[in-house]
Chains A and B, each alone.
Chain A
Amino acid sequence: GDSVTQMEGPVTLSEEAFLTINCTYTATGYPSLFWYVQYPGEGLQLLLKATKADDKGSNKGFEATYRKETTSFHLEKGSVQVSDSAVYFCALRREGSNYQLIWGAGTKLIIKP
């Protein structure tokens, strides 16, 4: 069945470091791909999305490119801040699906000053 695999956390970086959080997926056809972020004590927020191959989603300095050939949607940021500390979830929406999101397990990111 369809699935999303994220790198295990926690990922600990120093402020201003380069961030990559890996996400790969298994799905038939052309799913839509999403990154959500969850700050402590809050709900999930949509960070960025891509709906077709080679699309690049971007928001708040974060980027992710939909790579069909490697079935990946890695999250990147050039210079992280302490305020980026959160849990990041990768998710896919099946092609043609009317509701179901398939979620990764989440990756906790800790940024040290």
Chain B
Amino acid sequence: DAGVIQSPRHEVTEMGQEVTLRCKPISGHNSLFWYRQTMMRGLELLIYFNNNVPIDDSGMPEDRFSAKMPNASFSTLKIQPSEPRDSAVYFCASSRSLGVYGYTFGSGTRLTVV
């Protein structure tokens, strides 16, 4: 199993540009989570999907952020327009059985907005 795959690993973009982060969960996992990690705020849950349906997006900071999961093997997190305060490491995680056994995280995307 290749694990949770995220791309790109690093992204540097200019303020105002659109950024798209991608995630491929583990096959057979039916829950997918997007997290943001910063030194100041630690780990923050942005949005959660179950069976490709967004269940809770209350952690999405503002309308500039959107996430989709068109099928069981792919999800995107989009920021438009990006701002310097969006700079962080964004993690995707997936799980089965509603997370009872824990989550599997991807290696993350380090986003820098200049």
Chain A residues within 8 Å of B, Cβ to Cβ = 32, 34, 36, 41-46, 49, 51, 89, 93, 98-101, 103, 105-106
Contacts and interface: CB of A to CB of B under 8 A. Distances in A.
B53 to A, nearest CB: 12
Contacts of B55: 98-99
Interface string B89-114: 00101000011111111111000000
Contact of B50 (A43, A98, A100, A101): A98
Nearest to B92: A43
B99 A99 contact: yes
B105 A45 contact: yes
A103 B36 CA distance: 13
Given A32-B100, A99-B31, A99-B50, A44 B105 contact: yes
A105 B38 CA distance: 11
Contact of B102 (A34, A42, A103): A34
Q: Say whether chain B's binding surface is mostly helix, strand, loop, or mixed.
A: strand
B19 interface: no
Given A89-B43, A106-B42, A101 B107 contact: no
Contacts of B33: 99
Contacts of A45: 105
Given A45-B105, A105-B42, A93 B91 contact: no
A32, A45, A51, A101: which has the most chain B beta carbons within 10 Å?
A101
